[in-house]
A and B are shown apart, each in its own frame.
Chain A
């Protein structure tokens, strides 16, 4: 049996794309100092929006734009809670996850009378979105580390007071990149939908959380995060071809175990943005 075929690498790329997109979004928001564990829900919202809009408009392109917009709106919601109202970032993100999951069941039932699933709807070629993801990731690597805007972004996450002193609006920067994170999650959700042609409430399946892990493995840099996501996708695709030799209970663990090993071993010291998760208070005393 041919295990290491070209198809394996292609399949891995598809499995990796949504993870890499989430990882990219999370890189942006965490670089700005905002932890967003709501990515799972934002991705689900993206997929649901794509399904609804594609179903009623018949246009996958309009659906894609809508998914990005809804993701961005949820990003804004998270930013309002965590940046402006200074709520705990993790609590706000978890709330968004729960909110979207409940909404998904509610909307599918109201719209189609089904519990958590949609009928099939028009799709675009998922490969377009794979390509878009790769381009976005490459551009982001340059943007974050080679442009003045990227420098400002990093300063806001490292030392918001210094950024403030230098005239950078910390709140607005954090808002913008959290919105961007949401938009990228929306894109990841749109990919998931276009990959299958229909929505189900379990379709994100932890890819949002894996995306956060991929970002950490990638040490808050877009390209290494892509590699981490690809590694995960590759091992996931590989284990499906190995179950004849390894019991499924173990082979299914492989992608996760590998992620943990890479996290713990090969990474070296993670360079966590210093102000990550800390609300910024402008005036003190």
Chain B
């Protein structure tokens, strides 16, 4: 009898181990942790979800592109994970290959579409968020009397068209709004450059310099790491003019980059909430509502958006954690940020809220070109040339 109890206890223990808590694997591309952007956000959202739902987490970093396939396959083969999240479009091809091999395994991929029944593809409506920062840039140029707004982009790939088109649309909307509010017709043009790189930061700086020297009030960073170079160009321009706070400004991308440059050089960020994506995927599995397909995160479900104060505080902590800034600097950064935002009339901020509401309500739709031809049409529709 006692022996049987013992066997039962052991059996129960063995059975309960896998069920003790659910597990998620986060597979990162070569970018990895510490980018203060995409990957760190994915990690943040995942951490929030596992804390809330009591899950366990395994992070799998890919050293080279050749690791994508084995990393995903090994994670799936281990049968340990209730969900495997691939962070970043670079992992799409590998996932597309592995997903059919493990039809019972739940997968999610961020920022790419993998058309398999067991994969949840989470994509972002970048054009919606870009429209908001575009409207801000347009109104800032008119308000501060600058002739241009700028945007520096990476390699000319279709997903960047979403950003450019949204920005164009937003600048145009903002200029019209400005004319409506003030009765003045602003003469503002758009400067844009595809640098052809996501890594050569010096090119980002040179491109931003070219736009700033022509009188861009803000340069929108649509080239990830090149933002470092753009911010450097903005800082140099301000130093040259003997000022510390913009205009001109940088507009951040993906993560909240408002805290960079002491809080007074990045006026806003177009946030692509990878954290919301990861969180949502885990929540769906936790609630038993997970199914493959497309999940599009836009303004209405907070998947993209313009940065707010709460985001600043969140992401300043990111910067502190990574050692980019110290904890003592945080209050000063927050104060600088608040001061710069307050230097811009409230009606401009309200106008951006209005645009957001209009997009969420579906009364305005922002163009979302997928091909070069469609992009050219948007450029024709919103040429944004001066004079």
Partner of B206, one of A5, A198, A240: A240
A115/B194 contact (C-beta < 8 A), A1-B214, A195-B202, A202-B199 known: no
Q: What B residues does A221 contact at CB under 8 A?
A: none
Partner of B33, one of A115, A197, A203, A252: A115
> Measured between alpha carbons, how far is A248 from B206 in the docked complex, in Å?
16
Within 8 A of A (CB), among B173-206: 189, 191-197, 199-203, 205-206
Q: Is B34 an interface residue (CB 8 A)?
A: yes
Q: Is A11 an interface residue (CB 8 A)?
A: yes
Partner of B193, one of A7, A8, A112, A240: A240
Within 8 A of B (CB), among A223-264: 236-237, 240-241, 243-244, 247-249, 252
Q: Is B252 an interface residue (CB 8 A)?
A: no
Q: Is A89 an interface residue (CB 8 A)?
A: no
> Measured between alpha carbons, how far is A244 from B191 in the docked complex, in Å?
8
- Which of B108-116, B225-233, B242-250, B343-351 contacts the other chain? B225-233
Q: Is A183 an interface residue (CB 8 A)?
A: no
Partner of A119, one of B195, B201, B214, B323: B323
Q: What B residues does A7 contact at CB under 8 A?
A: 209-210, 213
Interchain CB contact under 8 A, A2 and B206: no
Interface size class of A (residues with CB under 8 A): 20 to 34
Q: Is A140 an interface residue (CB 8 A)?
A: no
Q: Is A15 an interface residue (CB 8 A)?
A: yes
Within 8 A of A (CB), among B151-165: 156
Partner of A252, one of B35, B189, B196, B324: B196
Interchain CB contact under 8 A, B33 and A192: no
Within 8 A of A (CB), among B33-54: 33-35
Q: What A residues does B324 contact at CB under 8 A?
A: 119
> Measured between alpha carbons, how far is A201 from B31 in the docked complex, in Å?
12
- Least CB distance, A51 to chain B, in whole angstroms: 12
- Least CB distance, A169 to chain B, in whole angstroms: 39
> Measured between alpha carbons, how far is A5 from B386 in the docked complex, in Å?
18
Q: Is B94 an interface residue (CB 8 A)?
A: no
Partner of B205, one of A196, A236, A249: A196
> Measured between alpha carbons, how far is A14 from B195 in the docked complex, in Å?
17
A89-118: contact bitstring with B at CB < 8 Å (1 yes, 0 no)?
000000000000000000000001111010
Q: What A residues does B202 contact at CB under 8 A?
A: 15, 192, 195-196, 203, 205
- Least CB distance, B98 to chain A, in whole angstroms: 24
Partner of B210, one of A11, A197, A248: A11
- Least CB distance, B201 to chain A, in whole angstroms: 5
> Measured between alpha carbons, how far is A198 from B231 in the docked complex, in Å?
12
> Measured between alpha carbons, how far is A117 from B200 in the docked complex, in Å?
12
> Measured between alpha carbons, how far is A170 from B200 in the docked complex, in Å?
39
Q: Is B32 an interface residue (CB 8 A)?
A: yes
Interchain CB contact under 8 A, B201 and A5: no
Q: Is A200 an interface residue (CB 8 A)?
A: yes
- Least CB distance, A157 to chain B, in whole angstroms: 32
A186-198: contact bitstring with B at CB < 8 Å (1 yes, 0 no)?
0000001001111
Q: What A residues does B386 contact at CB under 8 A?
A: 1
> Measured between alpha carbons, how far is A112 from B35 in the docked complex, in Å?
12
- Least CB distance, B382 to chain A, in whole angstroms: 13
Q: What B residues does A198 contact at CB under 8 A?
A: 228
A248/B194 contact (C-beta < 8 A), A7-B209, A196-B201 known: yes
- Least CB distance, A255 to chain B, in whole angstroms: 11
Q: What B residues does A244 contact at CB under 8 A?
A: 191-192
Q: Is B59 an interface residue (CB 8 A)?
A: no
A113/B209 contact (C-beta < 8 A), A200-B199, A203-B200 known: no
Q: What B residues does A2 contact at CB under 8 A?
A: 214
B284-322: contact bitstring with A at CB < 8 Å (1 yes, 0 no)?
000000000000000000000000000000000000001
Q: Is B75 an interface residue (CB 8 A)?
A: no
> Measured between alpha carbons, how far is A14 from B214 in the docked complex, in Å?
18
Interchain CB contact under 8 A, B210 and A205: no
> Measured between alpha carbons, how far is A206 from B229 in the docked complex, in Å?
17
Which residues does A use to contact B, with CB under 8 Å?
1-2, 5, 7-8, 11, 14-15, 112-115, 117, 119, 192, 195-198, 200-203, 205, 236-237, 240-241, 243-244, 247-249, 252
Beyond A1-B214, A114-B34, A240-B206, 14 additional contacts (C-beta under 8 Å) are: A11-B209, A15-B206, A113-B34, A113-B323, A115-B32, A115-B35, A196-B202, A196-B229, A202-B197, A203-B199, A203-B200, A248-B156, A248-B194, A252-B195
In the A-B complex, the 10 residue pairs with the smallest Cβ-Cβ separation, listed nearest first, are A202-B199, A248-B194, A205-B200, A252-B196, A114-B34, A7-B213, A115-B32, A248-B156, A240-B193, A240-B210
